[in-house]
Amino acid sequence: MTADPIGLPALEAALRRDLELLDYPRRAWIPERRTRDGAPILDVLIIGGGQSGTSLAFGLMREKVTNLLVIDENERGREGPWLTFARMITLRTPKHLVGIEHGLPNLTLRSWFEAQHGQATWESSGLIPKETWAAYLAWYRDVTGIPYRSETRALEILHVPDDRCFAVRVAQRGRGEETLFARKVVLATGIDGSGRWEAPRVVSENLPRERYAHTHDPIDFDVLRGRRIAILGAGASAFDNASVALEKGAREVHLFYRRASLPRVNPYRWAEFAGFLKHHGDLPDLERYRFISQILRMGQLPPADTHERATRHPGFKLHAGSPWQAVSMEGDEVIITTPQGRFAADFVIVGTGFVTDLSLRPELRHLEPHIARWSDRFTPPAGEEHADLLRHPYLGPGFELQERTPGEAPYVSSVFNYTFGCLLSLGFGGASISGLKYSLPRIVNGVTRQLYAEDSEAHLRALSAYDTPEF
């Protein structure tokens, strides 16, 4: 790469050359399958077209798993959170992180950026704006030629034993419903893909819906101009929403959290080394459980720039040691009761994250009773119980689901959980940029291992029938 911008056409030509040079083995190897009724069966269906689903699809294509499809419920170009509910200014991860490019320098974010803006601009830049990351992902999806459908939601996944595949009912905006058939299904549905965003009952059961929103929701901040906003939670997204509200003219934003003080160290930065990122999933269950429990106990702080963005506003107030004991409407005011006293607000934003619970995923309702959780395989020592962690799916080494009762539903292992629900089993994979370098090869190998093993008899027959002479 030169110091001056070379332009995307030149970069794309170099990338095509890379792919040609590295294209080994070249031969297609997966036998075609159809249902009893003659419908084509995909080798892999990936549900979710954000950074994880996209990069997984390309990784599989490099291994000649080309009979695949990625579907995403969002409009094309708006996959993932970056242009929707992510209200930060920049990514929180360092710009030098790699993994999504599968070892191809000309597919990296840096090469894409420098091709347009030059090396000096890259070197002088700090964290990456979220819009830049979204644009890079859109280019990545196009330049790699991933088979892709936007505005398509997975409604349910059914196992069809006679066809040895899954029937996945989907709905595409403007085209209605249809059924796709696939041997393997990958859930790449993001940070909440093993549960859902949820407001605590103290809010949801005591306020009318128009008086509160989750940080994940679309929020019309212009309507909140001149209002008093109360935010529950002290994570980065809570601070992001506070900042946007104040920037849009909110009179006051009060942010409440239960800890005595904000966390000042970030365990996620500690975890960014090869040992943890690559081998967390290789540890015994007790050690895996204790590592993740410790990370959660330490908490996820708002990064320094996120903290400064909010606290520079005179209308921003922090309330430590202030869990919400009660919430009610008194006249036209929201009244919040905490150990520190009562507070009045006009609108509430919930920044308490998501709950992990596969039973909340409508697409999994037929499979969920047969899927093992950590609570089915592991009992933590007394005093170390963590209800949300124990609801995490207990995954195999390639991100595959495990059956709850051995022998009852072995087919669930053909569904792969590449969401944040993999955290306890395999660490920072799925919805985490920092884990992609190591999680992508792991899940690609998991999928191809199954495809080869299932077809081993056909491959043996092909070997026995091979008669191409060398001379």
Rounded CA separation 250/415 (Å): 45
For 376-391, the pLDDT digits (tens) are 999 999 999 999 999 9
Do 365 and 154 contact (CB within 8 A), yes or no? no
Angle at 97 between CA 91 and CA 99, to 5 degrees: 115
Phi/psi at 185 (5° precision): -125, 130
DSSP state of 79: -
Which residues are within 8 A (CB) of 314 and not within 5 positions of it... i.e. 6 or more apart?
A: none
DSSP reduced 3-state for 166: strand
| Residue written as token pair 């792969």 | 416
DSSP tag of 414: G
pLDDT of residue 429: 83
DSSP strand E in 189-268: where? 195-197, 212-214, 228-232, 252-256
Q: What is the pLDDT at residue 1? A: 44
Q: Are 70 and 46 in contact (CB under 8 A)?
A: yes
- Backbone torsion region of residue 65, taken as left when φ is above 0, otherwise alpha when ψ lies between -120 and 50, otherwise beta: beta
pTM (two decimals) = 0.95
Second-level CATH architecture of 8-194+356-459:
3-Layer(bba) Sandwich (3.50)
Model pLDDT for residues 190-236, shown as the tens digit of each residue: 999 999 999 999 999 999 999 999 999 999 999 999 999 999 999 99
Residue with tokens 């969920």, as numbered in its chain: 368
In angstroms, the Cα distances linking 36 to 97, 162, 457 are 46, 8, 20
Range 199-264+301-352: architecture per CATH: 3-Layer(bba) Sandwich (3.50)
Q: Are 5 and 122 in contact (CB under 8 A)?
A: no
Task: Note the pLDDT of residue 114.
Answer: 97
Domain segments of the chain as ranges: 8-194+356-459, 199-264+301-352
Could you give the C-alpha distances from 424 to 186, 200, 346, 347, 367, in angstroms and in order?
Answer: 18, 23, 38, 35, 20
Matching residue, tokens 């997204």:
237
- Residue segments in the chain with a per-residue pLDDT below the cut of 50: 1
Decide whether 8-194+356-459 matches 199-264+301-352 in CATH topology: yes
Give residue-wise pLDDT tens across range 39-68.
999 999 999 999 999 999 999 999 999 999
